[in-house]
Amino acid sequence: MNMLLFTFQASLLALIAFSFLLVVAVPVLFASPNGFNENKNFLLLGSAAWTILVLLVGTLNYQVI
């Protein structure tokens, strides 16, 4: 149970940190010249990683409680 709690806390910290990173990075990338065309892969990969982290935190939250 202790390892599960640590995994939950680590994934929650990763989700928070990644969310702050996306809040800064996405507007900067869209404001750059040819923003979406040049950075499409980065934005889609970041969105997919964020979605996976949200689902992981939700699943772990269900397991911890």
Asked if 9 and 54 count as a contact pair (C-beta separation under 8 A), the reply is no
Distance CA 2, CA 23 (A): 32
Asked if 35 and 29 count as a contact pair (C-beta separation under 8 A), the reply is yes
Instruction: Kindly give the confidence (pLDDT) of every residue in the chain, 65 residues in length, as a single tens digit, with 9 standing for 90 and above.
Output: 688 889 999 999 999 999 999 999 888 888 888 877 888 888 899 999 999 999 999 999 998 87
**CATH number, domain at 8?**
1.10.287.740
Question: Could you tell me the residue range of the domain that residue 45 belongs to?
Answer: 2-64
The pLDDT value given to residue 1: 67
Structurally, how many domains does the chain consist of? 1
The pLDDT value given to residue 21: 94
* φ, ψ at 33 (rounded to 5°): -60, 135
The pLDDT value given to residue 33: 85
